[in-house]
Structure formats: C-alpha cells, structure tokens
Amino acid sequence: MKKISTAIIIIGILIISNSVLACTNLLVSPGASKDGSSFLVYLNDGEWLYHLKQTPAQDHDIRDSLTYRSMSGKSFKIHQVAHTYAIIGFQMNEHQLAIGETTFLGREELWDKNQPLKYWELMRLALLRAKTAPEAIKVMTSLAETYGYGSEGESFSIADPNEAWLLEMIGTGGQGGAIWVARKVPDGYITVHANHSRIGEVPKYDEDNCWYSDNYKTFAIENGLFDPDKGIGFRFNDVYDPPSTAHLKYTETRVWSIFRRAAPLQEFSSDYCRNIKGAEPYPLFIKPDEKLSLKDVFSLLRDHYEGTDFDMRKDMAADPSGNPNRPRPLEWETNNAKYSWERPVSTYNTAFSFVAQMRNYLPDEIGGICWFGVDDTYTNCYFPIYCNNTQIPEAFAKGDIRHYSPESAWWAFNFVANFAMLRYNLMVEDIKSVQQTIENSFIKQQKGIETAALSLDKQDRIDFLNAYSAYAGIKVHKAWVELGELLVSKYNDGYVKDPGQNIKSKSYSKEYLDKIVEKEGNRYRIDD
C-alpha cells in the first residue's frame, strides 16, 4: 500500500489556511488565440513558498492502493492505476493537460470534512491519470462520486491542446459523492472565474458541451435549496453559491475587469459586480474583440483596475506613491457599517502563477509549456518550462518562507516587490522594464528554439528543452537579484539616482500635494 506524500499533505494544509477564496483563473479556447493555442491561467494566491517539482511517469501494481485522509482524520484507500503520467508541479502533465482552480466555498453546510478527496488531490490524480480535458473530468468526478468529496465549493479550469472546460463541484453535506456541472468553452471564446461559481444555466441535452451529476438539481430540491414552484429557472451558481454584495465585489470585479480588457468594444458594465439591482450577471463565455496572443494573456493578468472608477492607485489608501496593494483582511467594520478594499487580479499575496500554453500542431514535448512565475503577477516574470521536462531550475525549487535567501527565486521576487512599495509609482517602472525585456526575449526566441527542437529525436528534444528552461530560469532569477540591488541603490534614503549616478530629489506628485493642502493645508502652511 502506498501513502500520499507528506509534501502533498503540507501543500493542502497551506492552500486551505492561506489561499481560500484567493485565486483567479482564465481559460482561452484554441479559436480565441492568435496561434491556435489553448491557454489556461492559474494564479495561486496565499502566503506560502511553493517548491516547483517534477514527478516522473511510473508503472504500478493495480492491486496496490493509495491512502488519503479526510480533514477530520479518517483514513481511506483509493485504487491505483497501472500507469501514471509525468507532471510539472500540479499544473501540467506530459500530454499537455493543464488544470487550475479557484475556491468559491458556497454553502458551507455541504462541506463534508469526513470525506477523503480534497480539490488539490483530485487535480493531481487527474494529471496523473488523464491525457485530455474530458478524461480529466471523468477521473475527477468518478473519484469524487466513488470515494467522497472532502472540500468546499470549487471551480476547476481544465484544458488540453484541443479544448477547454470549466468544472464546478460541491459536496453533499454528508450524503456521499458530489454535486457537479462541467461546461465546455465554445471554440473562439474565453471564460474567467475568481472565487465565485460561474456556471448558471445547465443545458440538459447538450452532451458534447455540458456534463453534470444526476443529483445536481434533485439534491437542491430535496434539501430545500431550490423551489421549482416559484417559477424561477434553476441556476447552479445562484443555488450553490448565493451572491451577496461583498461576495460579488470581491469576485466578479475580477471577472468584469478581464472581460472589459479582452473585449472593450462590448462595454461590460460594472453594475453586476457592485450588486446593482436588476444588473445581469456576466456571460459565462465571451468572445474577445481580437484573438489573444501569449503576450496579451500575460497582460490580462496584470491589473489593479487601472483607468477605471476602481483604480487602486488613485484612492486614499494608495499613499503618496500610488501603491495599489492593500493589507489583509480586506474587510472591516466601523460604527456598525461594513467596508472592504477592492480585490484586484494582481496582488502581492500571490505565491505563484502559471500560464499553460498547449498546441495541437506540435509534439507534446514541444507543444506544451508551463510559463511559470512567482509572486505578484504585476511585477513577476514568466519563463518557459516544457511539459516533458525532467528538471526544474534550482532557484524555483528551494527556499524557506521563515528565512530570507536570495538563492530562492520566491525571495528574490518578494524582495523586489516589497521594496518597491516605498516609492511604488517610480520603482514599478524599473521593474516592468526588466520584466518586459526578458519576457519579450523569451517570446522572440520561442520559434527558433522550437524549430531546433523539432529537428531532434524525442529524448534529445527533452534534453535540449531541459537545458533551455534551466537557462531561462537562471536568467530570470539572476535578473531579479540584480534588480533588487539596483532598487536599493537607486532609491536610497528617499532620493533617486539618475543614469549618471547623480542624486536627485523627487517630490510627491502635484495631485497628492493638492490633496494634502485640501485636507490639512493649515498644518503645513508657511506664508508670512
């Protein structure tokens, strides 16, 4: 009998304690991208230092079993399969299958902590056992139905080179199995989810594009969650993840912002994410105004609602330097009134993120890339790891969250991002300059690297791409260590050094000084 590793248990505990209701996903179908790629984006937000690892493919004795424990401590045996596939992290496998998630929690009374399989375990088991997105859905749902689902409400992004799916799942509150619905992203469209269940309508007679558990509606009726006699149509998300003003603000504002940027001509209103009476929910799928490139996808992940009424650089909490980051908790109460900061797509609470790129016109070992980055998406830098790689750049597989070390990529990026909050509007320009230069160089090199790889046999391709990813990871890590050193020197003691190392004074912006004068000008006035 084989047991699940201690590392996976620790990952689960950290996700539960630090990342609940704190992730964002984007799915891009092949027809919505400029080069026919599927894209899956996963932002994992939480205070933990993730060690990226590679799991090799393995053969197993099917008489063997895996042991999983529920959150309440009960032990369960899960059947083993004859062969499992190689995985990069818990993001992508050797067949260009990628999975992401966001937690929507939903009705907490349906979270059965006596059941064994948590969402991150289902993700890993699907990557180990499936080659395609439909296969992954069948693996995850059959395991949950057979053995029991032990997590809260969850939205899963699942994509392969040919298609992208959204799967939403919630427990049954002790009645066994799971409740779930899966919908395929129409080709040419995209979808986003961000800690709120997004599937509303469930088309019952569209087997090519919509799958569901037998109990998805009957359970709600039998347990008093939905009354069909009221004449209101059944919507999965309204039943299992009821909206509220605070919930919609925290979640759907991110959906709105990515949609508005991907399709500005469609003029999506912010009314729904502000819970304005009568506002229509955002569509589950939208067609972008123009097909998206890899660079476009990177850009969509970098957002503090700039240029909107919710621009986080412009409110009072942004301080003199226009810092868009807000410390948690994001909600507070004063004089019996509740308030909350905005929750943007980009947050300095991000542990890691990835953009999975999958292409059906290339062999798996070339077609699948996990573009990986650590820390805040606004100030990070993505580099390519091909899905059949067997090695991980060392700096991204090490580090201790309790002890700073520039040898860890997580710490190198965190140092830069945190130091930049001293003079954010100035330093972020230095950071984005390095970010864009390096990412653009990787994108420019991509075709040449992959053309060279195509001329090799499979094992030589893997070795070649291993070496390239190692080079790319080292380049990114080294650049951020040097960038941290540059920022400390350039912005020392509140001054700014120009390219000639001349020390210059840089005051607050006129806009901020005007605010000071308006609010407490008499305190600082020096007229005779």
Residue 45, phi then psi, degrees to nearest 5: -105, 125
Q: In the chain, what percentage of residues exceed pLDDT 70? A: 96
Hunting for tokens 């053995």 — which residue is that?
147
Residue 80, phi then psi, degrees to nearest 5: -95, 160
pTM: 0.94
Q: What is the pLDDT confidence band of residue 267, given thresholds at 50, 70 and 90?
A: very high
Hunting for tokens 């240029």 — which residue is that?
307
Supply the DSSP symbol for 413: H
Hunting for tokens 């939208």 — which residue is that?
286
223 Cα distance to chain centroid: 33
Distance between CA atoms of 158 and 118, rounded to whole angstroms?
A: 17
Mean pLDDT of 435-464: 98
Q: Is 70 exceeded by the pLDDT of residue 4?
A: no
The whole-number pLDDT of residue 21 equals 72
Identify whether the C-beta of residue 125 lies closer than 8 Å to the C-beta of residue 119. no
Q: Is 60 exceeded by the pLDDT of residue 420?
A: yes
Mean pLDDT of 443-464: 98
Mean pLDDT of 139-146: 98
Q: Is 80 exceeded by the pLDDT of residue 450?
A: yes
Identify whether the C-beta of residue 415 lies closer than 8 Å to the C-beta of residue 362. no
| Residues 167-193: tens digit of each pLDDT | 999 999 999 999 999 999 999 999 999
The whole-number pLDDT of residue 334 equals 94
Question: Residue ranges per domain, the chain?
Answer: 2-303, 362-505
| Residues 423-435: tens digit of each pLDDT | 999 999 999 999 9
The whole-number pLDDT of residue 1 equals 40
Mean pLDDT of 306-326: 95
Of 155, 265, 190, 183, nearest to 37 by C-alpha is 190
Residue 152, phi then psi, degrees to nearest 5: -80, -170
Q: What is the pLDDT confidence band of residue 80, given thresholds at 50, 70 and 90?
A: very high
Q: Give the tokens for residue 397.
A: 């597989």
| Residues 350-392: tens digit of each pLDDT | 999 999 999 999 999 999 999 999 999 999 999 999 999 999 9
Q: What is the pLDDT confidence band of residue 6, given thresholds at 50, 70 and 90?
A: very low
The whole-number pLDDT of residue 18 equals 45
User: What Å distances lie between residue 437 and 158, 270, 476, CA to CA?
Assistant: 31, 33, 11
Mean pLDDT of 140-160: 98
The whole-number pLDDT of residue 528 equals 75
The alpha carbon dihedral of 386, 388, 394, 396 has a sign of positive
Q: Which helix (H) or strand (E) holds 266?
A: none
Q: Is 80 exceeded by the pLDDT of residue 19?
A: no
Identify whether the C-beta of residue 377 lies closer than 8 Å to the C-beta of residue 302. yes
Distance between CA atoms of 352 and 340, rounded to whole angstroms?
A: 25
Q: What is the pLDDT confidence band of residue 8, given thresholds at 50, 70 and 90?
A: very low
Angle of CA points 241, 41, 124, to nearest 5°: 75
Q: What is the pLDDT confidence band of residue 459, given thresholds at 50, 70 and 90?
A: very high
Distance between CA atoms of 43 and 194, rounded to whole angstroms?
A: 10
The whole-number pLDDT of residue 260 equals 98
Identify whether the C-beta of residue 156 lies closer than 8 Å to the C-beta of residue 100. yes
User: What Å distances lie between residue 203 and 231, 233, 285, 293, 411, CA to CA?
Assistant: 18, 12, 14, 31, 47
Mean pLDDT of 109-121: 97
The whole-number pLDDT of residue 22 equals 86
Distance between CA atoms of 211 and 220, rounded to whole angstroms?
A: 17
Distance between CA atoms of 101 and 104, rounded to whole angstroms?
A: 10
Produce one character per residue of 13-37: b if its CB has 16 or more CB atoms within 10 Å, e if not. Answer: ebbbeebebbbbbbbbbbebbeebb
**Which contacts (CB < 8 Å, 24+ apart) does range 269-273 have?**
270/308, 270/309, 270/310, 272/248, 273/248, 273/249
Q: Is 70 exceeded by the pLDDT of residue 11?
A: no
Mean pLDDT of 82-87: 98
Q: Is 64 helix (H, G, I), strand (E, B) or coil?
A: coil
| Residues 206-229: tens digit of each pLDDT | 999 999 999 999 999 999 999 999
Q: Is 70 exceeded by the pLDDT of residue 16?
A: no
Supply the DSSP symbol for 403: B
Q: Give the tokens for residue 304.
A: 């503090």
The whole-number pLDDT of residue 10 equals 43
Mean pLDDT of 127-144: 98
Q: What is the pLDDT confidence band of residue 7, given thresholds at 50, 70 and 90?
A: very low
31 Cα distance to chain centroid: 22
Q: Is 90 exceeded by the pLDDT of residue 200?
A: yes
Q: Is 70 exceeded by the pLDDT of residue 13?
A: no
Hunting for tokens 């599927």 — which residue is that?
38
- Count of CB atoms situated within 10 Å of the CB of 295: 12
Q: Give the tokens for residue 305.
A: 């609602």
Helix%, strand%, coil% for the chain, nearest 5? 35, 20, 40
Mean pLDDT of 395-401: 97
Average of per-residue pLDDT values in the chain: 95
Q: Give the tokens for residue 234.
A: 């059944």
The whole-number pLDDT of residue 17 equals 43
Distance between CA atoms of 225 and 103, rounded to whole angstroms?
A: 20
Hunting for tokens 């308006």 — which residue is that?
518
